[in-house]
Structure 1
Amino acid sequence: MKVYQGSCLCGQVTYEVRGLSKDGAHCHCSMCRKFHGAAFGTLFTAEHVQWTSGQSLVKEYVAPNGTIRTFCRECGSSLGFRGKDVPQSRMEVAIATLDDDIEVTPDAHIYTRYKSNWYVIDDHLPRFDEGREGE
C-alpha cells in the first residue's frame, strides 16, 4: 500500500496516509467552501491517517450536523473532514495538503446544489446535487 506524506502550511503538523480511495470529489457544500476558503474542497478518503508531528496542534471543529473538520490551530490549514462517528484515522484528507504526487484524480463534483454562483464547473466530471447518488 502506497504511503503519502502531508503537512499544514506552517509545517508543524505532519501526517502520513496509507492508501487513498479511488473516488475523490470536489465538494461544493457551503461548509467545505468556507472551511477551505475556495470554490470547493477536494477530498479523498484515506485508508489510514497517522499524525507524525504536531499532533498537539491538531484541532477539530464539530459542525451542528455532527460532521467534523480537522485543521492546524497554528496556521489554520484545513487538513480533513469526517462524518459523525468516523474515526480520525479514516478521515477524508484535504488533498492539497499532501506533499507527494498522488496516483488518483477527483472523479465527481458533489453538493453542486450549493455551489458558489461565481464558479463555473467546466469539466467532464459527473455532477451530483447532493452526495453521490446511488452509492
Structure 2
Amino acid sequence: MSNKNAGSCLCGKIKFDLEGSFESFFLCHCKYCQKDTGSAHAANLFTTNSKLSWLSGEDLVKTFNLPQTRHVKSFCTNCGSAVPSIQNNGDLIVVPAGSLDVPVSIKPNAHLFIGSKANWEDELDELPSFEGLPR
C-alpha cells in the first residue's frame, strides 16, 4: 500500500512527510534501543521505496551513529524526540513509529533481540490499565 505519512517531533519544530509504503515494522529489544528510547524497546518502521521530505526543521535533525555498530538514531536537537533516519547510503529510511502523526498502516512483524529483553517487561498485559492518569 502506497500512501503519504505525516510526522513530527514533540516540540513541533520538525515536520516531515514520507511518501511510499513500509515494508516492515519491528519492535527491537536490544540494549542499544533500550538506552536510546529509555523504554523496553524501540518501535521502528522500515522502507526502501519511500521518499522522505522535511517540511520544517531539517536543520534541527542530528544523527548519532553508535561507533562499531549498525545502531543509528536521528533526533530533534530542540526536544530530543526520535525522527526518521536515512541509512545504508540513502537506501533505507527508518521511521520511529511514534513520530508519525497518522495511524501506522501496518502491524509489527516481529520482536527482535528478545534475549536482551528488559526483566520488567514480562506479564505487562496483566497490569491494571487506565484511559489517563490514575486517580
Which is richer in strand? 2
Deviation at 1:81, TM superposition (A): 4.9
Unpaired segments ≥5 residues, structure 2: 126-135
Are 1:19 and 2:20 matched, yes or no? Answer: yes
Q: Summarize the Cα distance change of 1:122–1:106 in structure 2 as closer, same or farther, 3 Å threshold.
A: farther
* 1:23 Cα offset (Å): 2.1
Matching residue of 1:49: 52
The alignment's TM-score, normalised by the length of structure 1, stands at: 0.79
2:71 to 67, 70, 83: 67
Q: Is the 8 A contact 2:63 2:85 kept in 1?
A: no
Q: 1:43, 1:80 within 8 Å by CA — same for their partners in 2?
A: no
What residue is the counterpart of 1:77 in the other structure?
A: 81
Once the two structures are superposed, what CA deviation does each residue of 1:23-67 show, in whole Å capped at 9, x if it has no partner? 211000111111112110111113222211100000011101143
Structure with more of its chain in helix, by fraction: 2
Cα 1:108–1:3, aligned 2, differ >3 Å: closer, same or farther? Answer: same
- Seen in structure 2, the aligned counterparts of structure 1 residues 3 and 121 have a Cα distance that, compared at 3 Å, is farther
The alpha-carbon distance between structure 1 residues 41 and 81, as it changes in their structure 2 partners (threshold 3 A), is farther
DSSP 3-state at the match of 1:45: strand
- What value does the CA root-mean-square deviation take over the aligned residues? 2.1
Q: In structure 2, what residue type is equivalent to 1:24? A: F
Give structure 1 stretches of 5+ with no counterpart: 124-135
Q: Radius of gyration: which is bigger?
A: 2
Identity level (%): 30
Query: Comparing 89-98 with 5-14, which one deviates more in the overlay?
Result: 89-98
Instruction: Tell me the distance in 2 between the aligned counterparts of 1:32 and 1:121.
Output: 20
